[in-house]
Amino acid sequence: MSTPDLTFEVDGAVAVITLNRPQKLNAVTPEMAEAIEAAIAECDASDVIRCVILTGAGEKAFCAGSDITTLDAYETPWQFRNRGDYCDAVRLCSKPVIAAVNGYALGGGLETAMSCDIRLASDNAKFAAPEIKLGWIGGGGMAAGLAHSIGASNAAMMILTGDPVDAATALSWGLVSEVVAPGRLMDRAREIAAVIASRAPIAAETAKVNLRAAHNMPYEKAVEYERDLQTICFATEDAREGRAAFAEKRPPVFRRR
C-alpha cells in the first residue's frame, strides 16, 4: 500500500495514512490519489482496523490539494470531471477518520480534511479555499463542507476571497475540534483514535453513517432512520457483549460481530 509519496501503517487497530511529498507541500498527484483510494479500500476491508488517521509529512503542510502542474494532462474538461477523487475516497471510508492537520490545508487539502470525521490542527495550521485566485472553484465538497462546518457567511468569506484563516480562527468557527502544539498533534490524534478503536466497531461505523444522514435528511426522517440504525446495532453480538460486560462490571471485548 505504501509508495514513495504515501505511507500506510497499521498499529494495532489504528491505521495511519501519511501524504509523503513534503517538498511539494504534500500536493496530490494522480498516482497519490490512486494510493489514497487503495489505502482506504484496505481500511474498509479490514476487520482489524477500527480507526484511521490521515496526516501529511513534514512540518509545513497537511496537503496543498491537487498538484496543479498535473492538471493540464487532462485532455478535456469532461475527463477532468470524471477523474478519481481522493476526497470522495476519504469521505466514503466506512471507518472513522481523524485528520491531523499539520500546517497548510489548501484547496483539495482542505476538502480532504473536511472529508474526515474529526479534525485536529497544529497551532501553525492554515486553511484556505484558494481556487478562486486561479480561476475556478473547489470540486471536492468545498462549499458543502464549509457551510456545514462554519456557517454560510464564514464559508462565503473563505471561498470568495480565497484567503487563509489560522488555526485559532478555524477553532472558533468550528472547522476543527482541537488545536495543539505541532509536536503534540500526532500523539493527540493517536489518543483519540485509540479511544474510538476501543468502542464497538459496528456501532462506530453505524454512528458515522448516522451522522452523515443527519446532515442530509429532514429532522423527523433523521430520527426515524437513527432508530432503525440503533435497532440494527442492538441485534449484534457486540451489543450483547456490552450489556453483559456492564452487568458483570468488566471491560467489554468487542469482536465486530
Indicate which residue of 9, 42, 75, 111 is catalytic.
111
Number of H helices, E strands in the chain: 11, 10
Phi-psi region of 111 (alpha: psi -120 to 50; beta: other; left: phi over 0): alpha
Active site residue 220: no
Cα dihedral 231→237→238→241 (10° resolution): 110
Q: Which residues contact 142 (CB under 8 A, 6 or more apart)?
A: 107, 110, 111, 114, 129, 131, 159
Q: Nearest to residue 233, comparing CAs of 216, 214, 115, 225?
A: 225
Indicate which residue of 34, 42, 75, 131 is catalytic.
131
Query: Which residues carry out catalysis?
Result: 111, 131
